Structure 1
Amino acid sequence: MAVTLKEVAELAGVSRSAVSRTFTDGASVSARTREKVEKAAKTLGYRPSLIARSLATNRTKLIGLVANNFQNPAFLDVFDLFTSELQKRELRPLLVNLSGETSPRKIVELLRQYSVDGVIVATSTLPTSFATAFQTAGIPVIHTFGKFQANANVHVVGIDNEYCGAMAAQTFAERGYKTVALLGGPESATSTQDRSTGFVQTAKKLGLDVAKISYAENYTYQAGRDAMREVLDDRRVEAVFCGDDLICMGAMDAARAAGQSIPEDIGFLGFNDIGMASWDSYSLTTIRQPIRDIIMSSVELVVGMVENPGRSPEIRLFPCSVIDRGSLRPVTDP
């Protein structure tokens, strides 16, 4: 049988309200009373009810973590970091798998039923209106990996994807490539759209020929392998910028299956820098997204936002960097 608050109060020789205040954050209780209550609770093995505490404080300490792309290893790292960082702050993540759901209404209603204190939308594949729907419902929200907009009306933490696309084009130019291709993630993803814009515009400025633009159906190895077959139709392509490392690995294996050597016949540039990118079988040159920094900042922001829901929206962008391995030819001398 679970130990009750009444039993703790009787052993400590205090009122039940004194026990309740002892285990309520910020409640007033004397040092002597706290000592007696904590000693009695330890003796009896009492654990305060989190549900009862939430009713008293009107705070559940639940943070909705809304995401998709669970099949991609990069997102498993994201979930690991998010859940551990929230739990360190005594917050409890409530994970919601969108599973193809693109209408926010059902998800908003689900999280309202759980009375979450805040929501983190952790995906780049949804439009900005998805996060805005939570704000409209009165739920504090952060869009992590969301689209950068100067006039955003919700908190956004992530990167400038358009600039990252420009970085990819610049990387190809530095290595002497002339005819290149883009193999993006799903075309509907805002991150894909922005990286494509930055890549194509900068490639043209640098005199590169973007001979092929193709999109993978999802962020998986097989989707990358399938989409690469279309790119291989144009034998002029010297290098391919992929919108995700796992997509890029599928594309690399498709190129090898077609008899092409990497990087001698064709080069590859990935995105994210997942652990597998450093494997000898791929040695993938990639653009590293500072995932840990983004998540730490998101958790810090959601904690502050829950305590001050009226704070003005912030845009926090982090720089990316090229991690040079062996899937591209070396930088050419000027």
Structure 2
Amino acid sequence: MYKNKKVTSYDVAREAGVSQSAVSRVFRPGLSVSKKTRDKVMATANKMGYRPNAIARMLITKQSGMVAVIVSSRANENYPEVLSQVSKQLAARNKRVLLFTLDDAAGVDDLFEQIWTFQVDGVIALAAHFESQRLAQFEQHKVPVVLYNRNVPDASTNTVCCNHEQGIKQLLAELKLNNPQSYLVLSGPVDSDVANERREIALDLLKKSGEKNVQVLYGDYTYQSGRDCIAQWLKKNPAPDAVVCSNDTMAIGVIDEIRENHNIHIPNDMSVVGFDGIASSFWQSYQITTIKQPVEQLVKAAVDMLIEHIENADSPPEARVLTGTLIKGNSVKRS
């Protein structure tokens, strides 16, 4: 009977002996329906080869079921884990990820146009920098956005962030146990909100503690930039007692460069700390002293926050700060 035509929810309802609204409730997560009705509808739907039409559902619910996830092309190495968690947790809320990558500021206009065209329900920005006027566009289009692991002080925006200040305080406290006389801060790129925040926190804390021999170099979060920065420094300067890296990947680059090309022992001659707690930072050959970010909890908070603002458009902006865990590795000398 249904071999040559597309099966509809009305066909399933008629075959199963239930109302069409009962079929709709079965295929819309969160709606109430008895187990008996659910089993009957699913058995009939499977027999008939029926699956709900996502476009029709969008017209009824006024939601696309899609969430745009924006990732910078210079994202940190823990972002595959973050993306996996985001996809998993959004799927549990009956949402699907529409992934966008952003190479530089020149591509923002095109990216935003695509987001409006796909009529996404919301946006999670993982590693992308947006000025306040850009963030205002989300509000104008009534698209809720959550910034993952970053703060925008001059904008009223939903944010979920690791406590960078507490983490860097803990890292500096570890370094100070050995009373270093000179520091080199390896920052990430200047167009990264996270890199700027971590750098400024470190410099401010070192200044307040009376440290006078503090220098700054800028990398781009990559392994190679860690190697290049420390190699560049050592061409004209003595080795610093302590190197504060903006992330673990740069810290690994520093350690490899020192080991391969310089007669400097880590940690006896120089201590190195990172931030993020990526998997490779725990490898036997590195064991970096770092702050491990609570990725699963950060992602859950971001997804929960976004869903709340999708379902309640009038909810005020939120900011949630979660604490990372200090990992005491072997890259810091202890007296």
List per-residue Cα deviations over 1:17-54 (Å, max 9, x = no partner): 76456545677989987665444213213111222211
Q: Which residue of 2 is the match for residue 265 of structure 1?
A: 269
Match of 1:88 in 2: 92
Task: Please provide the CA RMSD for this pair.
Answer: 2.7
Which residue number in structure 2 is paired with residue 293 of structure 1? 297
Aligned counterpart, 2:138: 134
SS in 1 for 2:89: helix
CA distance in 2, matches of 1:210, 1:9: 76
Q: Is residue 315 of structure 1 aligned with residue 319 of structure 2? A: yes
SS in 1 for 2:135: helix
Q: Tell me, yes or no, if structure 1 residue 229 matches structure 2 residue 234.
A: no
Q: Is the 8 A contact 1:182 1:242 kept in 2?
A: yes
Structure 1: which amino acid aligns with 2:161? Answer: G
**Percentage of pairs with the same residue:** 29
TM-score (norm 1): 0.88
Match of residue 103 from structure 2: 99
The equivalent of 2:69 in structure 1 is: 65
Structure 1 residue 234, shift from structure 2 partner: 2.0
Whole-Å separation in 1 of the counterparts to 2:304 and 2:5: 35
In the TM superposition, 1:158-237 aligns within 5 A as: 158-216=161-219, 218-232=220-234, 233-237=236-240
Question: What is the alpha-carbon distance in structure 2 between the residues aligned to residue 312 and residue 71 of structure 1?
Answer: 29
Partners in 2 of 1:65 and 1:2 — Cα distance?
36
Q: What one-letter code is carried by the residue in structure 1 that aligns with 2:191?
A: S
The one-letter code of the counterpart of 1:105 is: D
Q: Distance in 1 between matches of 2:301 and 2:91?
A: 15
Cα gap change, 1:130 to 1:259, in 2 (>3 Å): farther
Shift of 1:278: 0.8
SS of match in other structure, 1:107:
helix
Which shows bigger deviation, 25-34 or 100-109? Answer: 25-34
Which of 280, 287, 290 matches 2:284?
A: 280
TM-superposed CA distance for 1:320, in Å, is 2.6
1:286–1:102 distance in 2 versus 1, CA, 3 Å: farther
5+ long unaligned stretches in structure 2: none
Q: 1:80/1:210 Cα in 2 relative to 1: closer, same or farther (>3 Å)? A: farther
Q: Could you report, residue by residue, the CA deviation over 1:55-81 in whole angstroms, capped at 9, with x for unpaired residues?
A: 221112111111114664211111111
Counterpart AA for 1:192: A
1:55 matched to which residue of 2?
Answer: 59
The farther-off stretch of 319-328 and 2-11 is: 2-11
* TM-superposition CA deviations, 1:167-192 (whole Å, max 9, x none): 43333222321211100111221222
- Deviation digits for residues 203-239 of structure 1 (CA, Å, limit 9, x no counterpart): 12223234321010x2211121112223323215111
Give the one of 323, 327, 332 matched to 2:331: 327
Residue identity in the other structure for 2:321: L
**Cα distance change of structure 1 residues 321 and 175 upon mapping to structure 2, 3 Å threshold:** farther
Give me the whole-angstrom Cα distance separating, in 2, the residues matched to 1:203 and 1:284.
Answer: 21
Judging changes above 3 Å, is the alpha-carbon distance between structure 1 residues 241 and 52 closer, same or farther for their aligned structure 2 residues? same
Matched, 1:252 2:255: yes
Q: 2:117 aligns with which of 113, 116, 121?
A: 113
